[in-house]
Structure 1
Amino acid sequence: MTINKAYIRLLLWLSLAAISGGLALFSGLYLYLSPKLPAVETLRQVKLQTPLRVYSSDGVLIGEFGEKRRTPIAYEEAPEPFVQAILAAEDDRFYSHHGVDIKGLLRAASQLLQSGHIQTGGSTITMQVARNFFLTRKQTFTRKFNEILLALQIERELSKEEILELYMNKIYLGNRAYGIQAAAQAYYGKNINELNLAQLAMIAGLPKAPSAYNPIANPSRAMIRRNWILGRMLELEYIDNLTYQEALKEPVTASYHGSGLGLDAPYIAEMARKKTVDLFGEAAYTDGYQVYTTVSSELQSSAQQAVIKGLLTYDNRHGYRGPETSLPIIDAPTASAEFEATNTIDEQAQAEATEATVFSTEQLEAWQTALKSMPTYASLRAAVVTMAQGQELQVMTAYGQLINIDWNNGPSNAKPYISENRVGRAPKATEDFLSAGDVVRISEKSPDNWQLAQIPSAQAALVALNPDDGGIQALVGGLDFRQSHFNRATQAERQPGSNFKPFIYTAALENGLTPATVINDAPIVFDDASLESTWRPENASGKFFGPTRLRQALFKSRNLVSIRVLRTIGTGNAITGMSRFGFNEETLPHDLSLALGSHGVPPLQIATAYAVFANGGYQVEPYLIDQITDAEGQTLYQALPLTVCRECENQESDLATADNDTTIEQPELSAEQELQSLIDQEDSFVEAAPEPGIEEEPLSSDLETSEPLQPQRPIAPKVLDAKVAYIIDNMLRDVIKKGTGRRAQVLGRSDLAGKTGTTNGPKDAWFSGYNGHMVATTWLGFDQNLPLGRGEYGGSAALPIWIDFMRTALDGIPETVREQPDGLITVRIDPETGLRARPDNPDAIFEIFRTENAPTLEDDNSDTPAVYTEEESLPDELF
């Protein structure tokens, strides 16, 4: 008895010593580690690494940039079944412990003693938050003690809901998805609150091992994990047995959903990304900035479709260039009534195939592997020919889908390309131009209706602006951004050809010429010592039409008349003032080639210039980004573009008037306009506090008020006399009514104006057109500056793209009625001479003049037409 008491006493002392030693050790570790621990309060201000997102003006996501996909959500936004699933999977005692679960730690310690290595860490959700935000994932005892200490601090300072919110937004869940909202988008293409119980349990199973339990990479293991979590939810009475059984029956429906973009507009997104990074640096990729552009998602989608359609249509006119490549055939095929069944080939297609050539499983899998490395461009998918016989063509996609192409869906019209001007005869059978193993492109005309296609070798661009403030409504820089990052809408400097003529004619109107001025359209030869050969400019048709009124010359795009017009007014006078249209006067050629648009300009610059015609004579500047906000929705950047204000006082330009035979001087800006011209129109900020790297413009004390300062858009200056603007617009409308742009009449509108453009070769095809609501420019050509082919003009290659876009852009928009300004007069003239018509002239037509330029009664007695002749000396160099 005495011995037993001694043992018990010894055991008690040993236990007390162990406890004391443990407490001493814990206290020592606490005293040593505690001062080094980060402040838990920082979790309240934590910035989760959130990607840069770019939106259209109507809130559609069109771009996302950043290594981590994350969309933070509040705890209240998380579905209750998901919270229950997470607790069942990770920490079912979360609401009963204070950051550390002793049972879990003892279990982890027991496993360590038994196995000799760490199997589970016994971490609670709170401990995981501590590790994810403050510590590394290296498994050491020191890190575990830090984790425990931090968890205890976190529980003291944050609520359970705040801890769960941090956890759900921070955890990595595979496929670049951080947080549950990003995971829902990545795996199911939905918001987290749109998922069913089985899908929620699937995501709840990912934190343990995102790679091992990934439902895309390892669907079987993911289902086992999901079902275990559902069982735990049943055990914890989160769900009943019926709900449990129904969830178990759900199949794995996860698939990769990319970035979840509402509209893929990469050229726009890249422009916005670059601008944002220029403003805010690398923080733009991680701090959750949201960029709101001026682009309409509907118009952008229409623009992209119009460019693709226009390029495919042009490409089809010039013949089929054959397969992209040919994949090797490993073994000889055999003939059979059915395809050999494999795990990789679409079963329905196998069942429908009869009397087809059969390739081995090894062959088909090798082809699929090769196809998967070939990207899809503009919805043109790569496919390999599996059968080409008679009028039958069968292809296989990268994922084993077998598709039969109808003979009339491309093969019957696959005339071989010979040159840009010639195509061969249409084939009589598919084996005439294709064989097994050839890689072709296919596109889906309608569901399950495919056609043979090819990637166009030409490129095109489109840019559309709001003429009243320069906001970009749509922009396409090429066929597909994945094919080429080069943005032809903003970077390609191409010769505009006749697309530039309206600016020459505007200068002519300002210098005393009128729409009725007659210019001789006749052969002209220029000799110049600086030229290697004599210059003999011609009209596109190669014909000459004699005396031609200025209006006719513009809508019929007569080159020789344009050259004589420029020679008459002088290149110096024509170039002076071109900056008001957005052109750099220093880069414009000071010779007569200017009349034919010989200098290179990008489509965006041309569209900006045409905006002056569209808005009645006001200068605007193009801009893309309307606003940038931070993750909390605070405005960091607000665009303040030049904006037309027709109702504002003192909007009339101070254009100096001149005699009919003198040059009109350029407008002098008022003091207010000079001040506005110094304002940075795009980089104006509205901030509560300056951001790093961004200078805040200080406000003078007399502007300080109790109300927040609202940004004011600067007024666009008037740069073109209203009378001249009205006349040139009227002339450009004739381009649509009876000139080179008359195809646009298919839109059934009377308020359209514009101009085609085609350069020598032809190598560049243009069309720029507008009404009061929209101005758009389209271009088509080769990056290598190759000829487009005989018969390819602005009206045949570029105008159809413009029409397809404007059909959507102007749908439901009322026609613009332009008010005629004071100082204009309509006069009956003789169409042959351009002079005022006699009352008895049956062929007389009406023409618009500025009052000071109208034909006088004295002209009635003149028998000589006012035709400009060749006797005048050349005032400028030719080149």
Structure 2
Amino acid sequence: MIRRFFKYLFVTLMVLGLLAMAAAGGGLYYLIVINPGPKIEQSYIQSVLGRESPVYYRDGEEKIGVLFQGTHRQYLSYEQIPKDFINALVAAEDDQFFHHFGVDIPGIIRAMIVNIKAGRVVQGGSTLTQQTAKNLFKRESRSFKAKLRELLYAFRLEYHYPKEKILEFYINQFFVSGNGHGLGVAARYYFDKEPDELTLLECAFIAGSVKRPNYYNPFTKKTEAAAERARKRAEARAAYVLGKMRKLGMISELQYGQAMAADIVFKRGKMSYALNTVMDLVKDGLADPAITAALEQNGISNVSTSGIRIITTVDQDLQEKTLYALRRHLSVLDVQLRGYEREQVQKEYTRIDFAGELEPRAGSFLFGTIVSVQASDGEGVLIQVDLGPKKPRGVIDRRGLARVLTAFVRYNGQRWSEVQDGDLALLLDQLKEGDRVFVSVRRVDEGEGTLALELEKYPKLQGAALVLQDGAIRAMAGGMENRYFNRAVKARRLMGSTFKPFLFSAALQLGWNATDLLDNRRNVFVFMDRPYFPRPDHHSPYDFVSMSWAGVNSENVAAVWLLYHLLDHLTEPQIREVAAKLDMAPGPATVARRVTTGSSSASGTGSESGSTAMSWPRRPTNSLSGRWRRIFSLRTGKRSTGSCWIFPMACTMTGIAKR
């Protein structure tokens, strides 16, 4: 009886066990195959591994910056990943990756034995698939439940994606530094290279560092001694990975020997991009409803993770030279208007956080500390400047003081004063050992390992520059730092007399002559249904002056009179067409569309092609020619070539930059 009972019990337990296993298997099949959940879909994974969207200069090759959301990543497809790196990663992290189903049971047992013998955790048993699941789906805690969920996602990845795709996900997601992730960023950060340029040794190092990047990273260490220790750890880790690759037959003895004989040469590349007003303007433009709608029509809901290439109209060379010219001008102008008094300058500099470049080059502006000041009779001046750790020593010579010295003399004297004997000594009195100084790099002396510097003054004054050509922005500097507030487009400043060249250019292109007489008397004009009476800051001896005279002497009343007679009768479509003729419109297609649309309300007759002839106000008779004549009729489709008349500031800045 008892025997029969145990027999039935055994059978029952066996059946229940089989049913439980079947239920568990069915449940796993349902959760892995039938209903894996939305997170396993490639669209979700790609949103996690969002591709950054690079923003380029007009050449489409050099980057201004990148748009990304949260994580900086240069996404690589499996075909773009170097074979050496794939082998190095598999050797370092999971040599059975291409043979297991997401979990390496022998590897887990082996890791348990090693850890028990060591008395601590020295080896992990997780596979690359499990690590990919952890990186993609973010384990919220270290609880048993969280680990089971991670294991479930590993099974899902293995079922729904090939091994190559899982590797692609992992290689684009591992942490590098800061907000940088993936091999593309790692190659640039550690070695200033593209991934396909990496050597076998460099691949071995990066693959070996994915678990503990900061431990092997010399760039994050505060002292040179700590950085050297990190470099030694990096070499040891790379040697371990190379040894495993040789053992697994991934590399030959010759490749192993050559890699082991070489040193890891770290060269920090540009992983992040400085904030700048051009990038801000791009972001503002992409937020425009029309642009947003166009992107959404093409399936792009988030530009920052879409991976699209954005090419601007900005010219790199002109942009750099424009910013350089603006900074130099503001620096000297601040000295000329506010002087260079040591105590005041040092007090101001303690509150300034100016983001200089990691690797100074010609045209860079940065802060340094005076190490010594050596001055002798004649031209012998030498100021040694320490620019910070890992940067070459800088030297300010007599030439490097010339610009600030002239401005310093004019601040203390008259605006036309010139440098005299003894003035240099007065300026040097304001420069002492240990002082913080603001400098620009004039030249890099590669042979001597020094930088030829020019003394600058970080200004309180601000300015902006905008270089336009063919209705497009070629360069833009929004201020001294060229970030945050963009004074080139957002500053609300009265144009003042800088508007006069626009006005005179418009008159010339509309048929006026530089010798035509303008009424310079204090007339009353109607503006917005109110009387307007100009009050100039000086009295002109002439009631009538030529346009040339008005321009040279900046006659306000004559300019107002000219503006009044040019625009008082123009309709909106006519003003738009004037803008097109003066090169102030976005482009021919846009202008033609807008003018054609508004042609029904314009005076004149339209042709079948849609162009409209517009009649303009007559010029007054008080000209030196003494003849009445109509200002010529404009037709859409014709464009002015006088862009330098229309944008004097842009042409001036271009001239400065090219000199």
- Alignment TM-score > 0.5, same fold: yes
Determine if contact 1:175/1:186 at 8 Å carries over to the other structure.
Answer: no
Q: Deviations over 1:508-566 (max 9, x none)?
A: 799997655434657x599xxxxxxx975256xx7645643335534664334324546
2:187 maps to which of 181, 184, 204: 184
What is the RMSD of the two structures over their aligned residues, measured on CA atoms?
4.7
Match of 1:164 in 2: 167
Deviation, structure 1 residue 163: 2.0
Is residue 380–residue 454 contact of structure 1 (8 Å, CA) maintained in 2?
Answer: no
Q: Aligned-pair distance for 1:445?
A: 0.9
Which of 424, 441, 444 pairs up with 1:444?
441
Aligned amino acid, residue 396 of structure 2? I
Instruction: Say if 2:55 and 2:63, in contact at 8 Å, map to a contact too.
Output: yes
Partner of 1:76: 79
Per-residue deviation, 1:476: 2.1
Equivalent AA in structure 2 for residue 496 of structure 1: M
1:285 has 2:253 as partner:
no
What secondary structure sits across from 1:478 in the alignment? coil
Deviation at 1:191, TM superposition (A): 0.9
Give the drift of 1:295.
2.7
Q: Is the 8 A contact 1:50 1:70 kept in 2?
A: yes
For structure 1, the 5+ residue unaligned runs are 1-15, 328-366, 527-533, 583-608, 624-639, 663-719, 734-750, 756-767, 770-776, 779-798, 809-879
Match of 1:102 in 2: 105
- Mapping for residues 570-719 of structure 1, pairs under 5 Å: 574=568, 576-577=570-571, 612-615=580-583, 620-621=585-586, 641-642=590-591, 650=609, 652-656=611-615
Compared CA separation, residues 188 and 24, structure 1 to 2 (3 A): farther
Is 2:235 the partner of 1:270?
no
Output the CA distance in 1 between the equivalents of 2:535 and 2:178. 63
Verify: 1:408 aligned to 2:399, yes or no: yes
Q: Which has the higher helix share?
A: 2
Q: 2:653 aligns with which of 786, 801, 808?
A: 801
Find out whether 1:553 has 2:536 as its counterpart: no
Cα shift at 1:80: 1.1
Tell me how far apart the structure 1 counterparts of residues 160 and 128 of structure 2 sit (CA, whole Å): 15
Residue aligned with 1:216, SS: helix
Cross-structure match for 2:370: 385
Rounded Cα–Cα distance in structure 1 between residues aligned with 2:266 and 2:312: 32
Matched, 1:395 2:375: no
Whole-angstrom CA distance in 2 between matches of 1:752 and 1:412? 32
State yes or no: 1:237 paired with 2:249.
yes
Q: Which residue of 2 aligns with 1:475?
A: 476
In the alignment, is the contact (CA less than 8 A) between 1:70 and 1:179 conserved in 2?
A: yes
C-alpha deviation, 1:440, in angstroms: 0.7
Alignment deviations for residues 634-687 of structure 1 (CA, whole Å, 9 cap, x no partner): xxxxxx84468999974643324677779xxxxxxxxxxxxxxxxxxxxxxxxx
- Residues of 2 paired with 1:525 and 1:166: CA distance? 74
Q: Report the Cα distance in structure 1 between the residues aligned to 2:339 and 2:424, rounded to whole angstroms.
A: 11
Aligned-pair distance for 1:71?
A: 1.4
* Cα distance change, pair 129–295 in 1 and its aligned pair in 2 (3 A): same
1:566-613: CA deviations, max 9, x gaps? 67x49xx5385478657xxxxxxxxxxxxxxxxxxxxxxxxxx99534
What is the rounded CA distance, in whole Å, between the counterparts of 1:32 and 1:238 in structure 2?
A: 40
Q: TM-score, normalised by structure 2?
A: 0.72
CA drift of 1:285 comes to 3.3
Report 1:787-826 matches (<5 A): 800-805=652-657, 807=658
Distance 1:292 1:512 in 2: 38
Could you tell me which amino acid in structure 2 is paired with residue 236 of structure 1?
L
User: Could you tell me which amino acid in structure 1 is paired with residue 71 of structure 2?
Assistant: K
Alignment match, 2:240: 228
1:556 to 1:227, Cα distance in 2 relative to 1, 3 A: same
Between the aligned partners of 1:563 and 1:219, the Cα distance in structure 2 is 70
Distance 1:506 1:442, change over 3 A: closer
Query: Judging changes above 3 Å, is the alpha-carbon distance between structure 1 residues 214 and 408 closer, same or farther for their aligned structure 2 residues?
Result: closer
Per the alignment, in what secondary structure is the counterpart of residue 553 of structure 1? Answer: helix
Conserved in 1, the CA contact under 8 Å of 2:52 and 2:305? yes
Distance in 2 between residues matched to 1:291 and 1:473, nearest whole Å: 15
- Residue 294 of structure 1: aligned partner: 313
Residues 1:303 and 2:300 are matched in the alignment: no
- Specify the alignment match of 1:350 in structure 2: none
Which residue number in structure 1 is paired with residue 65 of structure 2?
63
Q: How many residue pairs end up in the alignment?
A: 571
Residue number in structure 2 paired with 1:754: 645
Partner AA of 1:574 in structure 2: D
CA 1:316/1:23 → structure 2, altered by over 3 Å: closer, same or farther? farther
Match for residue 219 of structure 1 among 207, 221, 231: 231
In structure 1, C-alpha distance between the alignment counterparts of 2:439 and 2:42, rounded to whole Å: 52
**How has the CA–CA distance of structure 1 residues 71 and 505 changed in structure 2, closer, same or farther, with 3 Å as cutoff?**
closer
Q: Which amino acid aligns with 2:493?
A: R
> Structure 2 stretches of 5 or more lacking a match?
1-10, 221-229, 293-299, 358-362, 376-380, 445-450, 525-532, 597-606, 622-629
The 10-residue stretch of structure 1 (32-41 or 196-205) with the greater mean CA deviation from structure 2? 32-41
SS of 1:295's equivalent?
coil
Instruction: Evaluate the alpha carbon distance shift between residue 143 and residue 27 of structure 1 in structure 2; reply closer, same or farther with a 3 A threshold.
Output: farther
Q: 1:226 to 1:800 in 2, by over 3 A?
A: same
| C-alpha distance 404-23 of structure 1, shift in aligned 2 (>3 A) | farther
For residues 316-395 of structure 1, what are the structure 2 equivalents within 5 Å? Answer: 321-323=340-342, 326=346, 375-376=355-356, 379-390=364-375, 391-395=381-385
Deviations 1:15-50 (A, max 9, x none): x99999999887665556665553586137631223
- Conserved 8 A contact 1:306-1:802: no
Separation in 1, partners of 2:632, 2:518: 25
> How much does 1:381 deviate?
1.4
What amino acid sits opposite 1:376 in the alignment? G
Please tell me whether residue 86 in structure 1 is matched to residue 67 in structure 2.
no
Q: TM-score, normalised by structure 1?
A: 0.56
Partner of 1:498: 497
3-state SS of 1:441 partner: strand
Q: Partners of 1:420 and 1:492 in 2: how far apart?
A: 32
Deviates more, 1:650-659 or 1:183-192: 650-659
What is the rounded CA distance, in whole Å, between the counterparts of 2:156 and 2:542 in structure 1? 91
Structure 2: how far apart are the matches of 1:213 and 1:498? Answer: 60
Contact 1:322 1:434 in 2 (8 A): no
Deviation at 1:299, TM superposition (A): 3.7
Give me the whole-angstrom Cα distance separating, in 2, the residues matched to 1:656 and 1:191: 60
**Cα deviation digits, residues 675-728 of structure 1 (max 9, x gap):** xxxxxxxxxxxxxxxxxxxxxxxxxxxxxxxxxxxxxxxxxxxxx9755799xx
